[in-house]
């Protein structure tokens, strides 16, 4: 019996999303320290994230959160990659503080953790692109996921990557 495209699409996107999580985990990191937190949203969590994005849009006067929430209703998988609030211990001052101990007392972010997050996002989204899966990096998803506690209590930055495999990329040509 032939398989329909929707079944093929669902299976392929799930596989690609899982491989993206692995690509993020194995991406190079400063001093070999892994401070990433990586999740693949379940349907119930996707609905919570969409609601939270709409709430943030209204609360903070950020119409882009509403726009992004509308576009992810059309996606099948969402990978969220975040970084924990743990300085790497270089005392470099790139974060604006004189030491990692000083940074640790604030809500600041270690510059190297932000760099590591960027490298992981690049590895992950490149893998999606390699499989010709439409994707887009959205900080709005990451912010909602952090506020919902989906990445754990120590997550300080996150970006979501929604995935789609339809005839038209739903993440571009937005209002």
DSSP labels, 60-109: HT-HHHHHHHHHHTT-SEEEEEEEES---S----TTSSSSHHHHHTSS--
pLDDT digits over 100-142, tens only? Answer: 999 999 989 999 999 999 999 999 999 999 999 999 999 999 9
In which band, very low, low, confident or very high, does the pLDDT at 175 lie, cut at 50, 70 and 90? low
pTM of the model: 0.95
- Selecting from 3.40.109.10, 2.70.180.20, 3.40.50.300, 3.40.50.2300, what CATH number does the domain 5-164 have? 3.40.109.10
Region 64-78 average pLDDT? 93
pLDDT score for 23: 98
Tell me the pLDDT of the chain averaged across its residues: 95
pLDDT score for 66: 95
- Is the pLDDT confidence value at 1 over 90? no
């Amino acid at each position: 019996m032939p398989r329909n495209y929707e079944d093929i699409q669902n299976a392929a996107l799930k596989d690609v999303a899982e491989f993206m999580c692995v690509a993020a985990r194995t991406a190079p990191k400063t001093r070999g320290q892994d401070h990433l937190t990586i999740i693949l949203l379940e349907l119930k969590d996707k609905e919570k994230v969409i609601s939270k994005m709409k709430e943030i849009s209204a609360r903070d006067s950020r119409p882009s959160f509403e726009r992004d929430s509308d576009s992810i209703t059309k996606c099948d998988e969402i990978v969220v990659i975040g970084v924990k609030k743990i300085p790497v211990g270089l005392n470099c001052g790139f974060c604006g503080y004189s030491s990692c101990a000083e940074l640790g007392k604030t809500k600041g972010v270690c510059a190297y953790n932000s760099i590591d997050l960027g490298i992981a996002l690049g590895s992950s989204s490149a893998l999606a692109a390699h499989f010709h899966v439409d994707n887009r990096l959205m900080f709005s998803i990451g912010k909602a996921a952090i506020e919902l506690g989906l990445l754990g209590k120590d997550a300080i930055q996150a970006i979501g990557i929604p995935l789609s495999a339809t005839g038209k990329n739903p993440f571009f040509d937005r209002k």
